Amino acid sequence: MVQIQFYSLLRMLLKQERAELPPVEGETIAQLLERVQQQVQTPFLDKLLKNDGSMHAGTIILVNRHNIHHLNGLQTPVNENDVVAMFPPGAGG
């Protein structure tokens, strides 16, 4: 299974801390997010992605603790047992 973890405002929006989905051969993060949105039955991709499909700058997505920015972005492949975390950190101090 692929484990998806939601933090902070995302968790409150979706009313759940995590979701689990079976992996799909060749799937990317972008495709996984679509499936996650279907499973949680709450629109949230508009909070993560712009109209052109690129990411908004307020949330980080980590795959197995590594920011996808340093992997292959939204085209990062997703595999069995991967842990995908989505976290909008607080910027203030």
Partner 1 sequence: MLVAGVGGLGATVSQLLVRAGVGRLYLVDDGIVDWPDLNRQVLYGEDDIGQGKLQLARGRLRAINSGTEIFLIEGRIDENFVMPAGLSAVADCLDNYQSRFLLDELTPEGVFLVHGGLHGDHGQVLTLQSGRSQPMAKIFAGICQPEGSIPVTPDNVVIVAGLMVNELFATLFGQPKLLNRCLVVSLADFHMAFLDV
| Site of interaction with partner 1 (CB under 8 A) | 5, 7-9, 11-12, 17, 55, 57-58, 60, 62, 65-67, 69-70, 85, 87-93
Name which of 65 and 81 has its Cβ closer to partner 1. Answer: 65
Q: How far is the CB of 27 from partner 1 (least distance, A)?
A: 21
Question: Environment class of residue 53 by beta-carbon count within 10 Å: exposed (0-12), middle (13-18) or buried (19+)?
Answer: exposed
Name which of 22 and 93 has its Cβ closer to partner 1. Answer: 93
Q: Which residues contact 32 (CB under 8 A, 6 or more apart)?
A: 2, 4, 21, 24, 78, 84
Name which of 22 and 89 has its Cβ closer to partner 1. Answer: 89
